Chain A
């Protein structure tokens, strides 16, 4: 299994500002994933972050809005840029275990944009 921590756990931000969310894993992993989730709803994949290469973004998400860094095999950041109230959501990072065929998730970052 993998233990994942995220910072911050929650934040309230003003419109037009940016927030960087950190994700730390207790073991080295090849791929890390960033999801967005409205409370009580399913997960939407934002992007896949591979160490040493640019992140791969899903349809509807762009690098200018959600820049991602992956400086090493245990850490990644997601920035939500130029925020608007529509960006209010829960942001989750995860890693996968191909051996276990599962994903392990961080506890999430709850973002409210005013």
Chain B
């Protein structure tokens, strides 16, 4: 079983649409991160959420950490082709980063 389950696994939408990606776990974490990986590149950190219920905004991206600190969501408003990529949630547990199962997003112009 995966520590972090993401849904959906694949998502293909038209430019301008909104979408939400989910990251779920049965474990509690002190913080959670979201990364985006564009084709041909390594993952890049988007945001870290640390407080239960916390909401962070990064332009058209809104990140929320669940009240119980077991899950998180990423909402993209008015998606653009530049948002295309693999979105990964991740947690630092002990001395190791664990990555979610990933959501592959394609935004069609």
Give A residues with C-beta under 8 Å from B: 4, 33, 40-43, 45, 48, 92, 94, 96, 100-108
B43 close to A105 (CB less than 8 A)? yes
Instruction: State in angstroms the CA–CA spacing of A40 and B86 once bound together.
Output: 6
A40 close to B102 (CB less than 8 A)? yes
Q: Nearest chain-B residue to A92 (Cβ)?
A: B42
Stretch at the interface among B52-60, B72-80, B93-101: B93-101
Q: Nearest chain-A residue to B33 (Cβ)?
A: A102
Give B residues with C-beta under 8 Å from A: 10, 31, 33, 40-45, 48, 86, 88, 90, 92, 96-97, 99-102, 104
Majority-rule SS of B interface residues: strand
Given A101-B31, A101-B92, A102-B48: A42 and B41 within 8 A (CB)?
Answer: no
Interface centre among A4, A101, A104 (most CB of B within 10 A): A101
Interface centre among B41, B42, B43, B102 (most CB of A within 10 A): B42
Sample of 14 A–B contacts (CB below 8 Å) = A42-B88, A42-B101, A43-B99, A45-B96, A96-B97, A100-B45, A101-B31, A101-B48, A103-B97, A105-B41, A106-B42, A107-B42, A108-B40, A108-B42
